[in-house]
């Protein structure tokens, strides 16, 4: 009998092995345990075929068809597992911890591999994130502030000093605005974003503060899990403020190097909210390489939106006003400020 592990034990012990997801490629693409390798026992079409047969003719016929499809692949599975394993144990899962992972585990054990199974499968893993969040009294510090304050750079510096930091925008591959996709790779699915966040939170010590940036519920096309967002809204919110001149400089550094046509497309996405005239003016400034003027128009829009959205979600705030545009200086002073208000 293969060793069955609950999600906590599976994730902990699998650090010394190889995690194998035996679900279909499309299931894996939608979301998977970070670090897992996809070794699908069925293709998408094969799973659909077996599932249809199960509904129409029953379990026995479906199992026979499954064996018919899988049989010719057994030797290939073993060869692939040997390449992946390199002497390390294998940690397998499917959707519910059922026949797919159990069958593959039997094969690998027969071939001499040490194998472990995730009890309850991927479904149990997904549920374990909610359990992790509710099991502790997390000390979340939410760093807010309007566009261009350099909050991400500050969080990076806080992390370099040993502070626990969750980079939500980094996980989402998006900076959280109409311009947020510029220079970023393709966003993950909302499901996979949640898995990556789950992975980060498991590395955190719940007895110590965890910093993250204030965000709305969505970052680009992905959504923050409701349980984590509720945790954010109950956390300590620090409103970070920076002089407008410093903010213009920061935004110019972040976005000024992108081609004009990409900046124009981003402004066009805002036209309904920004207004036709303001959008037209911003685009005209970009075409004249007057980027600071275009940025000033964007700042005016984002500041209004920030006040009507983010600040309403965190009515209880502490305000930190910076006198420097150096992120390392602001990170140090912000940490001092947090120490003061938390004592």
Q: Does residue 309 contact residue 216 with C-beta atoms inside 8 Å?
A: yes
Which parts of the chain have pLDDT scores under 50? 1
Predicted pLDDT of residue 315? 66
Q: Does residue 274 contact residue 301 with C-beta atoms inside 8 Å?
A: yes
Q: Can you list the positions of beta strands (E) in the chain? A: 3-5, 18-21, 37-38, 90-93, 115-118, 139-144, 164-166, 209-213, 218-219, 222-223, 236-241, 317-321
The encoded tokens of residue 68 equal: 């018919």
3-state secondary structure of 287: helix
The encoded tokens of residue 275 equal: 């207004």
- Asked if CATH classification 3.40.50.300 holds for the domain at 3-129, the reply, yes or no, is no
The encoded tokens of residue 338 equal: 């947090």
Task: Report the alpha-carbon distance of residue 66 to residue 162 in Å, rounded.
Answer: 51
Predicted pLDDT of residue 1? 45
Orientation of helix 276-287 relative to helix 260-269, angle to 10°: 170
CATH 3.40.50 range(s) for the chain read 137-342
Is 94 tagged catalytic?
yes
Beta-strand pair 164-166/209-213:
parallel
Q: Please write the tens of the pLDDT for every residue from 164-207.
A: 999 999 999 988 777 778 888 899 999 999 999 999 999 999 99
The encoded tokens of residue 288 equal: 């004249």
CATH 3.40.250.10 range(s) for the chain read 3-129
The residue whose two tokens read 């939106």 is 305
149-178 core/surface letters (b: 16 or more CB in 10 A; e: else)? bbbbbbbbbbeeeebbbbbbbbbbbbbbbb
Residue 153: name the closest of 175, 138, 182 by CA. 175
Q: Does residue 215 contact residue 176 with C-beta atoms inside 8 Å?
A: yes
Of residues 94, 149, 173, 200, which has the active-site annotation? 94
Predicted pLDDT of residue 25? 96
Identify the architecture of domain 137-342 in CATH.
3-Layer(aba) Sandwich (3.40)
Predicted pLDDT of residue 311? 64
Predicted pLDDT of residue 329? 94
The encoded tokens of residue 300 equal: 């005016």
């Amino acid at each position: 009998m293969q060793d069955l592990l609950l999600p906590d034990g599976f994730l902990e012990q699998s650090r010394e092995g190889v995690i194998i997801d035996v679900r279909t490629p499309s299931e894996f693409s939608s979301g998977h345990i970070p670090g897992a390798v996809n070794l699908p026992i069925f293709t998408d079409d094969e799973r659909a075929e077996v599932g249809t047969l199960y509904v129409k003719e029953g379990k026995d016929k479906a199992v026979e068809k499954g064996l018919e499809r899988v049989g010719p692949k057994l030797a290939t599975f073993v060869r692939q597992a040997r390449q992946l394993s390199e002497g390390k144990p294998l940690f397998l899962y499917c959707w519910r911890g059922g026949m797919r992972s159990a069958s593959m585990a039997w094969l690998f054990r027969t071939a001499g591999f040490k194998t472990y199974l995730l009890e309850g499968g991927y479904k149990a893993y997904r549920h374990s994130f909610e359990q992790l969040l509710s099991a502790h009294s997390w000390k979340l510090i939410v760093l807010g502030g309007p566009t261009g304050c350099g909050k991400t750079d500050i969080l990076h510096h806080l992390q370099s000093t040993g502070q626990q930091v969750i980079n939500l925008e980094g996980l989402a591959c998006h900076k959280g605005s109409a311009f947020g996709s510029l220079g970023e790779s393709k966003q993950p699915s909302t499901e996979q974003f949640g898995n990556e966040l789950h992975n980060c939170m498991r590395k955190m010590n719940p007895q110590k503060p965890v910093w993250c940036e204030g965000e709305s519920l969505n970052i680009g096309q992905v959504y923050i899990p409701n349980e984590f967002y509720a945790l954010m809204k109950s956390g300590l919110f620090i409103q970070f403020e920076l002089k407008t001149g410093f903010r213009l400089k920061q935004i110019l550094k972040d976005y000024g190097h992108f081609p004009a046509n990409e900046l124009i497309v981003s402004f066009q996405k805002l036209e309904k909210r920004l207004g036709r005239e303001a959008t037209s003016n911003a685009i005209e400034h970009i075409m004249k390489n007057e980027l600071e003027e275009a940025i000033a128009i964007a700042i005016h829009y984002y500041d209004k939106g920030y006040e009507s959205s983010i600040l309403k979600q965190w009515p209880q705030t502490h305000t930190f006003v910076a006198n420097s545009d150096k992120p390392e200086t602001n990170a140090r002073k912000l940490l001092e400020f947090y120490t003061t208000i938390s004592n």
